[in-house]
């Protein structure tokens, strides 16, 4: 009797250990275990969430998005009043996030490239100034930059009463602690022609670039693509603007009793966030640009020069295309970081999506779970979109190896 | 006449110094500042820039600054520059938060012990490094005991933690625990098991796709819903968990880069030696991969340390949070620049130090690869 059980034991043990030592079987077992753990974990937290929500008498639903938000937003790109819905408030916030991210990316790229090139300059002073700026900026938290610049704007710029005389640039721009006041463009109907002309200019330039390349490949003749492109993109709209009878007027801000009336205001919150994010990201971009340009070996310069190519054209045709290959991937992640860092807006009261949907809407409706999931989903899709675009671009400029 | 004219034997004529423009300071100036007209223009531009920035900055921070005063009004009476008296007045709370005064020696002691634990980890040429490493592993527990109290020490609640001490605690904890987690995630992402790989990829991409601030919001508002009813979690602990998870996503990507830089032959060699998966990882692959990724890991840590300031948004009073809330004091109203610049200097010293260390390591590793 006892011997048979022992045999059975030994048999089953060896069967399990055989299974365990089989590579394929083990990998299946491990994966099933992982899956089971994962499902168990999610089941556990979801059941907890359900019972916890039930205990405090809440339900999981997105119905609140259709209810009136009943709070004001100080910067709106689309029409919004406090009677509009939470969904629209979230949309206003999302557009504000987009605005600061796009403005930030543009300024950060320009500043970053300038700083990176200064950092490579043979001029000792310029080089050191750029180095000091880059090191100081990137070793200080971005939140601190935002608060510092916001503090400087709010505390150091004067009240509008003083700004109307002392910080007045040609009666058009006023720098005050309530923001920068600037003339607001008012478009007449004919101005649409100018906008259309601008896009036609861009399309023409893209086509002309392709055409010029084809001509160059076939005959060796080089067209001044840059200047013709500039003329098409900027000159053509200006001509259209003049022909249609200057259909654009400016509404300049005028000082009323307590504050400026009319015009367009750039809020101190936006300025602080924009400048801080741009400066912080520019410091990182400067290092990326420097590394990218240094990565192109000196032999490339010499080889191009030996072929008798001019300096400007060497940069354009030989150096920059190779440097871009090194620069683009980390540049993408800096753009992503800038977009994600824009969520720090909430610290100074700039109404981005975290401050509207994840802030005030959350407080008013008590829907923590729904709002936070929505905010997370929005950021995830922005990130995935940017990285998908950049992957496509990267693929396009990648070195084609045979 | 005879002493002015000297005749030399050919070949014994004494060496003459190079012309004045070809040596010393003049040569340096010429090559570095005035080599061409564009370079000269840039030099003039730089000098103008420095002239615009440096004198006012020095005046504000040093020459016109006030160190001894009891209020902002008094500061302004004495001089026009920075009112550092405010910082001197608040330095205790900026450093220790609301930690009880009589127990602050415990914070100081754990900081000193932290440095003692870091030295054997960071430098490999210190004596008794092996014991130092064992001590470094034990350090988090010693520090936890010292800071939280209990077992003979007065207990201190985590709500009394604050200031630079809080930043250091969040930073060091995040760094310590995110490294093993990040390595595990990187191995998971490289795994041959499709489910393990998918789970790792989803986790890493999720973490890297959302801002830390939303994760902290989740920790402060949502996390309690996901726990069994009735359990409550310390807010600091929730933040620590989130920060660790966040950093591990980034570490995982850095380590993956290291793993991918290891040639396939190394994996094959380890396999042909009969090493199991974990053995080959532990003995062959990871030592090489981690070495390559150390600079990236240090950069992640710098980012993590800077990100510890974000906890102020969910109401923990780190150094920036305390600095910001102390601005509301009517006696010291409007001194935001002083507060923020002092905190910026603190972060600059810490992060610049770390980045210098990373450069030192890079140099050392490069030497290891040169023959």
Q: In chain B, which residue's Cα lies nearest the Cα of A340? A: B211
Measure the CA–CA gap between A85 and A64, rounded to whole angstroms.
8
CB-count burial class (<10 Å; 0-12, 13-18, 19+) for A189: exposed
Chain A interface mutation, best of B225, B295, B305, B324, highest count of A Cβ atoms under 10 Å? B225
Measure the CA–CA gap between A380 and A374, rounded to whole angstroms.
10
Q: In chain A, which residue's Cα lies nearest the Cα of B341? A: A148
Q: What was the pLDDT predicted at A2?
A: 46
Q: Is B8 helix (H, G, I), strand (E, B) or coil?
A: coil
Residue A168 has pLDDT above 60, yes or no: yes
Q: What was the pLDDT predicted at A45?
A: 87
pLDDT, tens digit (0-9, with 9 covering 90-100), for A384-397? 888 788 778 877 77
CB spacing of B214 vs A354 below 8 angstroms: yes
Q: What was the pLDDT predicted at B70?
A: 84
Distance from B120 to chain A by nearest Cα, in Å?
Answer: 25
Non-local CB neighbours of B171 within 8 Å, separated by 6+ positions: B301, B304, B305, B308
Q: What was the pLDDT predicted at A286?
A: 94
Q: pLDDT band at A7, cuts 50/70/90?
A: low
Q: What was the pLDDT predicted at B1?
A: 47
CB spacing of A354 vs B217 below 8 angstroms: yes
Domain positions in chain B are 20-63, 85-99+156-369
CB spacing of A152 vs B337 below 8 angstroms: yes
The correct CATH number of A86-141+268-397 out of 1.10.3660.10, 3.20.20.70, 1.20.1250.20, 1.10.3720.10 is: 1.10.3720.10
Non-local CB neighbours of B7 within 8 Å, separated by 6+ positions: none
Measure the CA–CA gap between B238 and B220, rounded to whole angstroms.
7
B residues 352-371 lying closer than 8 A (beta carbon) to A: 352, 355
Residue B272 has pLDDT above 90, yes or no: yes
Chain A interface mutation, best of B170, B216, B217, highest count of A Cβ atoms under 10 Å? B217
- Judged by average pLDDT, the poorest of A89-98, A145-154, A159-168, A263-272 is A159-168
Q: What was the pLDDT predicted at A97?
A: 92
Give chain B positions within 8 Å (CB) of A151: 336-337, 340
Distance from B276 to chain A by nearest Cα, in Å?
Answer: 11
* B332 touches A116 (CB < 8 A): no
Domain positions in chain A are 2-55, 86-141+268-397
Q: What was the pLDDT predicted at B7?
A: 73
Q: In this predicted model, which residue has the larger pLDDT, B186 or B328?
A: B186
Residue A132 has pLDDT above 90, yes or no: yes
CB-count burial class (<10 Å; 0-12, 13-18, 19+) for B166: buried
Chain B interface mutation, best of A135, A146, A150, A151, highest count of B Cβ atoms under 10 Å? A151
Give chain A positions within 8 Å (CB) of B86: none
Chain B interface mutation, best of A48, A141, A376, highest count of B Cβ atoms under 10 Å? A141
Give chain B positions within 8 Å (CB) of A365: none
CB spacing of B210 vs A379 below 8 angstroms: yes
Measure the CA–CA gap between B155 and A321, rounded to whole angstroms.
62
Q: pLDDT band at B164, cuts 50/70/90?
A: very high
Distance from B29 to chain A by nearest Cα, in Å?
Answer: 9
Q: What is the phi/psi pair of residue A185, to 5°?
A: -75, 135
Averaged pLDDT, A156-163: 75
Measure the CA–CA gap between A254 and A193, rounded to whole angstroms.
30
Q: What was the pLDDT predicted at A342?
A: 92
* β-pair type (A168-169, A248-251): unpaired
Domain B85-99+156-369 annotated CATH 3.40.109.40: no
Averaged pLDDT, A73-82: 81
Q: Is B153 helix (H, G, I), strand (E, B) or coil?
A: strand
Q: In chain A, which residue's Cα lies nearest the Cα of B336? A: A151
Measure the CA–CA gap between B285 and B282, rounded to whole angstroms.
7
Give chain A positions within 8 Å (CB) of B42: 121, 123, 125-126
Distance from A335 to chain B by nearest Cα, in Å?
Answer: 12
CB pairs under 8 A between A and B: 155
Q: In chain B, which residue's Cα lies nearest the Cα of A137? A: B348
- Judged by average pLDDT, the poorest of A57-61, B41-45, B169-173 is A57-61
* β-pair type (A260-261, A173-176): unpaired
Q: Report in angstroms the alpha-carbon separations of B364 from A292, B253, B295.
A: 23, 23, 11
B residues 251-290 lying closer than 8 A (beta carbon) to A: none
Give chain A positions within 8 Å (CB) of B94: none
CA atoms within 13 A on the CB side of B80: 4
Q: What is the phi/psi pair of residue A315, to 5°?
A: -55, -50
Q: What was the pLDDT predicted at A399?
A: 65
- Judged by average pLDDT, the poorest of A162-171, A347-356, B308-317, B348-357 is A162-171
Q: What is the DSSP letter of B84?
A: T
Give chain A positions within 8 Å (CB) of B208: 383
B residues 320-349 lying closer than 8 A (beta carbon) to A: 320, 324, 334, 336-337, 340-341, 343-344, 347-348
pLDDT, tens digit (0-9, with 9 covering 90-100), for B204-237? 989 988 999 999 988 888 888 888 877 777 888 8
What's the CA angle centered on A280, arms B163 and B293, to 5 degrees? 85
Q: What was the pLDDT predicted at A203?
A: 93
* Nearest-by-Cβ selection for A144 from B50, B320, B334: B320
pLDDT, tens digit (0-9, with 9 covering 90-100), for B347-361? 999 999 999 988 888
Q: Is B9 helix (H, G, I), strand (E, B) or coil?
A: coil
Q: Is B162 helix (H, G, I), strand (E, B) or coil?
A: coil
Residue A329 has pLDDT above 50, yes or no: yes
Give chain A positions within 8 Å (CB) of B344: 140, 144, 148
Measure the CA–CA gap between A378 and A376, rounded to whole angstroms.
5
Measure the CA–CA gap between B171 and B149, rounded to whole angstroms.
20
Q: In chain B, which residue's Cα lies nearest the Cα of A386? A: B209
SS (H, E, C) chain A: CHHHHHHHHHHHHHHHHHHHHCHHHHHHHHHHHHHHHHHHHHHHHHHHHHHHHHHCCCCCCCHHHHCECCCCCCCCCCCCCCCCEHHHHHHHHHHHHHHHHHHHHHHHHHHHHHHHHHHHCCCHHHHHHHHHHHHHHHCCCHHHHHHHHHHHHHHHCCCHHHHHHHCEECCCEEEECCEEEECEEEECCCHHHHHHHHHHHHHHHHHHHHHHHHHHHHHCCCCCHHHHHHHHHHHHHHHHHHHCCCCEEEECCEECCCCEECCEEECHHHHHHHHHHHHHHHHHHHHHHHHHHHHCCHHHHHHHHHCCCCHHHHHHHHHHHHHHHHHHHHHHHHHHHHHHHHHHHHHCCCCCHHHHHHHHHHHHHCCHHHHHHHHHHHHHHHHHHHHHHHHHHHHHHCCCCC
* A183 touches A200 (CB < 8 A): no
Chain A interface mutation, best of B37, B40, B42, highest count of A Cβ atoms under 10 Å? B42
Residue A1 has pLDDT above 50, yes or no: no
CB spacing of A147 vs B336 below 8 angstroms: yes
pLDDT, tens digit (0-9, with 9 covering 90-100), for B111-142? 999 988 888 888 877 788 888 888 888 888 88
* B245 touches A389 (CB < 8 A): no
pLDDT, tens digit (0-9, with 9 covering 90-100), for A201-246? 999 999 998 998 899 888 888 888 888 888 888 888 888 888 887 7
Residue B309 has pLDDT above 90, yes or no: yes
Measure the CA–CA gap between A198 and A262, rounded to whole angstroms.
28
Looking at the complex, does the CB of residue B208 fall below 8 Å from at least one CB of chain A? yes
Residue B365 has pLDDT above 90, yes or no: no
Residues β-bridged to residue A261: A254
* B251 touches B182 (CB < 8 A): yes
> Distance of alpha carbon B85 from its chain centroid, rounded?
27
CB spacing of A151 vs B302 below 8 angstroms: no
Measure the CA–CA gap between B147 and B240, rounded to whole angstroms.
15
* pLDDT cut 70: percent of chain A above it: 94
CB spacing of A122 vs B32 below 8 angstroms: yes
CB spacing of A123 vs B42 below 8 angstroms: yes
Looking at the complex, does the CB of residue B126 fall below 8 Å from at least one CB of chain A? no
Q: Is B127 helix (H, G, I), strand (E, B) or coil?
A: coil
Measure the CA–CA gap between A67 and B318, rounded to whole angstroms.
37
Residue A146 has pLDDT above 70, yes or no: yes
CB spacing of B347 vs A30 below 8 angstroms: no
Residue A277 has pLDDT above 70, yes or no: yes
CA atoms within 13 A on the CB side of B125: 2
**Residue entry with tokens 């205790």:** B92
Give chain B positions within 8 Å (CB) of A136: 348
* Nearest-by-Cβ selection for A140 from B222, B224, B348: B348
Provide the mean pLDDT of chain B.
86
Range A133-139, long-range pairs (CB < 8 A, 24+ positions): A133/A283, A134/A283, A134/A286, A134/A287, A135/A283, A135/B352, A135/B355, A136/B348, A137/A279, A137/A280, A137/A282, A137/A283, A138/A280, A138/A283, A138/A284, A138/A287, A139/B302, A139/B306, A139/B347, A139/B348, A139/B351, A139/B352, A139/B355
Give chain A positions within 8 Å (CB) of B347: 139-141, 144
* Nearest-by-Cβ selection for A358 from B194, B199, B217: B217
Dihedral angle, C-alpha A44, A45, A49, A55, nearest 10 °:
50
Looking at the complex, does the CB of residue B54 fall below 8 Å from at least one CB of chain A? no
């Amino acid at each position: 009797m006892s011997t048979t059980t022992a045999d059975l034991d030994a048999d089953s043990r060896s069967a399990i250990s055989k299974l365990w030592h089989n590579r394929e079987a083990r990998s299946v077992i491990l994966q099933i275990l992982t899956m089971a753990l994962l499902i168990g974990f999610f089941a556990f937290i979801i059941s907890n969430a359900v019972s916890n929500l039930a205990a405090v008498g809440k339900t999981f639903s997105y119905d609140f998005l259709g209810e009136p938000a009943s709070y004001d937003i100080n910067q709106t790109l689309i029409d919004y009043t406090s009677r509009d819905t939470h969904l629209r408030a979230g949309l206003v916030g999302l557009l504000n996030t987009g605005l600061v991210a796009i403005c930030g990316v543009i300024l950060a790229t320009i500043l970053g490239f300038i700083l990176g090139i200064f950092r490579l300059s043979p001029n000792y002073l310029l080089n050191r100034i750029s180095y000091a700026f880059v090191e100081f900026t990137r070793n200080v938290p971005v939140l601190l930059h935002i608060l510092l610049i916001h503090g400087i704007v709010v505390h150091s710029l004067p009240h509008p009463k003083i700004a109307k005389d002392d910080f007045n640039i040609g009666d058009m721009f006023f720098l005050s602690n309530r923001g920068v006041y600037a003339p607001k463009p008012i478009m007449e109907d004919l101005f649409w022609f100018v906008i259309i002309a601008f896009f036609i200019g861009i399309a023409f330039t893209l086509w002309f670039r392709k055409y010029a390349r084809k001509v160059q490949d076939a005959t060796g003749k080089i067209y001044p693509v840059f200047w013709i492109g500039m003329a098409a993109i900027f000159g053509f709209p200006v001509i259209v603007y003049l022909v249609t009878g200057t259909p654009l007027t400016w509404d300049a801000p005028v000082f009323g009793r307590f504050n400026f009336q009319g015009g367009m205001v750039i809020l101190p919150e936006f300025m602080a966030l924009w400048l801080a994010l741009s400066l912080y990201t520019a410091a990182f971009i400067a290092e990326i640009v420097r590394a990218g340009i240094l990565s192109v070996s000196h032999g490339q310069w010499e080889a191009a020069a030996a072929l008798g190519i001019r300096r400007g054209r060497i940069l354009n045709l030989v150096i920059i295309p190779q440097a871009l290959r090194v620069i683009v991937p980390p540049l993408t992640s800096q753009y992503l970081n800038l977009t994600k860092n824009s969520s720090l807006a909430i610290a100074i009261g700039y109404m981005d999506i975290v401050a509207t949907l994840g802030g005030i809407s959350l407080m008013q409706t008590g829907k923590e779970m729904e709002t936070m999931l929505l905010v997370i989903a929005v950021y995830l899709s922005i990130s995935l979109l940017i990285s998908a675009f950049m992957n496509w671009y990267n693929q396009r400029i990648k070195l084609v190896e045979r | 006449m005879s002493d002015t004219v000297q005749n030399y034997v050919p070949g014994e004529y004494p060496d003459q110094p190079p012309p004045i423009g070809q040596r010393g300071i003049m040569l340096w100036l010429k090559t570095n500042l005035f080599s061409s007209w564009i370079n000269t223009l840039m030099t003039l531009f730089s000098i103008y820039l420095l002239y615009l920035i440096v004198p006012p900055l020095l005046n504000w921070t040093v020459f016109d600054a006030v160190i001894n005063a009891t209020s902002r009004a008094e500061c302004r009476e004495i001089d026009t520059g920075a009112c550092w008296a405010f910082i001197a007045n608040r330095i205790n709370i900026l450093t220790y938060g609301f930690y009880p005064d009589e127990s602050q020696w415990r914070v100081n002691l754990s900081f000193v012990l932290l440095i003692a634990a870091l030295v054997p980890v960071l430098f490999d040429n210190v004596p008794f490094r092996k014991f130092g490493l064992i001590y470094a592993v034990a350090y988090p527990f010693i520090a936890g005991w010292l800071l939280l109290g209990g077992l003979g020490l007065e207990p201190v609640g985590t709500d009394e933690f604050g200031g630079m001490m809080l930043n250091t605690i969040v930073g060091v904890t995040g760094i310590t625990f995110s490294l093993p987690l990040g390595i595990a995630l990187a191995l998971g992402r490289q795994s041959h098991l499709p489910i393990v790989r998918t789970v790792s990829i989803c986790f890493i991409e999720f973490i890297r796709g959302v801002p830390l601030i939303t994760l902290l919001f989740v920790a402060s508002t949502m996390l309690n819903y996901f726990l069994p009813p009735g359990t409550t979690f310390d807010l600091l602990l929730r933040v620590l968990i989130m920060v660790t998870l966040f950093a591990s996503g980034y570490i995982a990507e850095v380590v993956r880069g290291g793993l991918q830089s290891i040639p396939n032959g190394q994996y094959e060699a380890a396999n042909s030696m009969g090493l199991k998966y974990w053995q080959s990882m532990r003995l062959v692959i990871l030592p090489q991969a981690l070495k390559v990724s150390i600079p990236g890991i240090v950069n992640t840590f710098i980012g993590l340390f800077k990100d510890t300031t974000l906890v102020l948004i969910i109401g923990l009073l780190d150094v920036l949070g305390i600095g910001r809330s102390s601005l509301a004091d009517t006696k010291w109203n409007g001194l935001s620049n002083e507060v923020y610049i002092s905190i910026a200097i603190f972060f600059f010293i810490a992060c610049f130090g770390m980045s210098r260390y990373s450069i030192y390591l890079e140099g050392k590793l490069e030497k290891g690869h040169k023959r």
